Structure 1
């Protein structure tokens, strides 16, 4: 049972990392290269879509890692799982305090109502998101290592 939980949790976190990595290094670059207002409209749509899904994914991942750490507390790799859980908690805190406020504004923007500094706000979101990606990649690596 513990092995199934560990594998499922690691896969779930790995998929989340893949989505967030893709947003950071592929999708946003594609959107930024689109002509005229297409990129900003695409980012707003992505903010609405992923803004609805990712909180559930982050909290579910953190919950499963916590359950893994508690149920496997006598097993090899528990320190790695606890550290990964702390990093996932950090990513949730970063999201709530830093990224979500920007996302909540930007997902409502259109070319007619966006603020003058919208590009600077998107650049700030991107920088913060890159840090969050590094945090969750590290958490994923620790979980994968704990499986071995």
Structure 2
């Protein structure tokens, strides 16, 4: 049973990390390079789409890691799993406190109603997101290390 939880958790967290890495280093740079209002419209759509899914993915990942930590408390690597859980908690706190407020504003923007500082707000979101990606990559690495 523990092995199934470990594998499922690694897959779920790994996919989340991959999506967030892709947003940071592939999708947003592509959107930023588009002409006219296309990039901002793409960010708004992405904010609506991923904004609806990611809260469940982050919390679900954290729950899976907590289950792993409890179920595997008498096995090696538990300290790494607990540390990964703490990093995932940090990523959730960062999301709620820093990224979600910007995303909630940005997902409703159109070329007609966006604020003058929309690019500055998007850049701030990107900077926070880079840090969050580093945090969840570290959590994923700890989970992988806990398996060996």
State the TM-score, normalized to the length of structure 2.
0.99
Matched, 1:135 2:129: no
Segments of 5+ residues of structure 2 without an aligned counterpart are: none
Instruction: Give the match for residue 44 of structure 1.
Output: 44
Shift of 1:137: 0.1
SS class of match (1:104): helix
Instruction: Give the match for residue 124 of structure 1.
Output: 124
Shift of 1:53: 0.4
SS class of match (1:108): coil
Please identify runs of 4+ aligned residues in structure 1 that moved more than 3 A: none
Shift of 1:39: 0.2
Shift of 1:80: 0.2
Shift of 1:131: 0.1
SS class of match (1:112): coil
**Contact 1:7 1:147 survives alignment (8 Å):** no
SS class of match (2:108): coil
Shift of 1:70: 0.7
Shift of 1:94: 0.3
Aligned ranges 1:24-35 → 2 under 5 Å: 24-35=24-35
Q: Distance in 1 between matches of 2:18 and 2:71?
A: 27
Question: Over residues 93-142 of structure 1, what are the superposed CA-to-partner deviations in whole Å (9 max), with x where a residue is unaligned?
Answer: 00000000000000000000000000000000000000000000000000
State the TM-score, normalized to the length of structure 1.
0.99
Instruction: Give the match for residue 95 of structure 1.
Output: 95
Q: Distance in 1 between matches of 2:115 and 2:49?
A: 21
